[in-house]
Copies of this chain bind each other. A is one copy, B any other.
Amino acid sequence: MSNENLQQLLNTPAAFLAEPEKDGNVAVFTRIRLARNISTFPFPCAAHPEQLTEICELVTAAAGNCEKMNKDGCLSFDIAEMTPADREILKERFLAGKEILSGPENCRLLTGKDSSCSILINDEDHLRIQILAPGFQLDQAWVDTDALDNALSAHLDYAFDDQLGFLTSSPANTGTGLKASVLLHLPGLVMTGKLGPTIQGVNKLNLAFRGLYGEPNENPGNLFLISNQVTLGDSETGIIGKLSQVVRQLILHENAARQLVIQKDQAALLDHVGRSYGILRHGFKLSVKEALNCLSGLRLGVDMKLFSHVDMNCVNEMFLTVQPVHLQKYAEKNLSAAERDVFRAEYCREKLKK
């Protein structure tokens, strides 16, 4: 059952990885997540199994009444029943955090087929409501999140304190329960050595900024997630407004850095892009790190209109699908690390053959 749903999820293009209609391609996607709890139950960490089961059913029923969750078919995943690898796939697809990897009982993910809206039940909080949207769309994503939240609250009695706001399992989320993030592709800042100063600047603004993949200071793929850190003492629109302002600045900086690179040595930039494509299109062995770096180069090339036959959606999706667990799933059998590198290269060649 979970397995069938997972196949449907893998076979449906993720809407948040599509090419955005505006604001260019520096921002890959926007994510907004709300932490909510039901007032009549203890937080998940303190609840009895029967209570958790009841919460699961209550939220599932409430979600069943939300048009947004059901417009293209809602998929349900009972996390405890899934294999560790399948759980990892949900994590790699940004539908849940690392907490689900241990397979907590009575934890359930409900998600629209295209992943654009989802609810994670009985993870750290009773509900984690999430909206994923392509590109830089914090304002629209907030409107959508708020609408989904309101629709659910018509059926659920949220734990709310007049002084503190929404109550959450971890004090770090109390207040708005809001975590807004934008995934940015910043090859220009990396190439010009301006990433370090940028990170320092962002950190001073009480925002979190981290590389999506690899070890710190390694950042294969040049993808960076920027999020608010403070959930208390400001309104939702206040938090989102401040984050928007910084993201807009970062996009400007990235585009300026790209222009700088082009002016300094256009051929070197084109060479970087061309080789990235050449290796993905013709290689036969590809580590995840090299694949991510080549995808970053290719993404830059698609953005620069060098590869008219490669679409951004495909490149964005490949960032996900070259990951070890996704690949393992596509291969439909266990692969050693060396076999996976060969299969990854084959997968990339086929994807780019069109």
Residues of A within 8 A of B (CB): 267-268, 270-271, 273-275, 277-279, 281-285, 341-342, 345
Contact = CB atoms under 8 A, between A and B. Distances in A.
Nearest to A342: B267
Contacts of A271: 283-285, 345
Contact of A267 (B267, B278, B284): B284
B274 A284 contact: yes
A275 B274 contact: no
23 contacts: A267-B285, A267-B341, A267-B342, A267-B345, A268-B285, A270-B284, A271-B283, A271-B284, A271-B285, A271-B345, A274-B282, A274-B284, A275-B278, A275-B279, A275-B282, A275-B283, A277-B278, A277-B282, A278-B278, A278-B279, A278-B282, A278-B283, A281-B282
Contacts of A267: 284-285, 341-342, 345
A274 B268 CA distance: 21
A275 to B, nearest CB: 6
A277 B326 CA distance: 28
Copies of this chain held together in the complex: 2
A345 B270 CA distance: 11
Contacts of A279: 275, 278
A300 to B, nearest CB: 13
A341 B265 CA distance: 13
Nearest to A338: B267
A275, A281, A341, A345 — most chain B CB neighbours (10 Å):
A275
A268 B278 CA distance: 16
A268 B268 CA distance: 27
Contacts of A270: 284
Contacts of A284: 267-268, 270-271, 273-274
Contacts of A285: 267-268, 271
A342 B285 CA distance: 27
Nearest to A274: B282
A279 B279 CA distance: 7
A342 B279 CA distance: 19
A270 B342 CA distance: 10
Nearest to A285: B271
A274 B294 CA distance: 15
A282 B278 CA distance: 6
A267 B268 CA distance: 29
A315 to B, nearest CB: 15
Contacts of A282: 274-275, 277-278, 281
Of all A-B residue pairs in the complex, the 8 with the closest CB atoms, nearest first, are A278-B278, A278-B282, A270-B284, A271-B284, A274-B282, A271-B285, A267-B342, A267-B284
A219 B342 CA distance: 29
A239 B107 CA distance: 83
Nearest to A343: B267
A285 B270 CA distance: 8
A279 B283 CA distance: 10
A271 B281 CA distance: 11
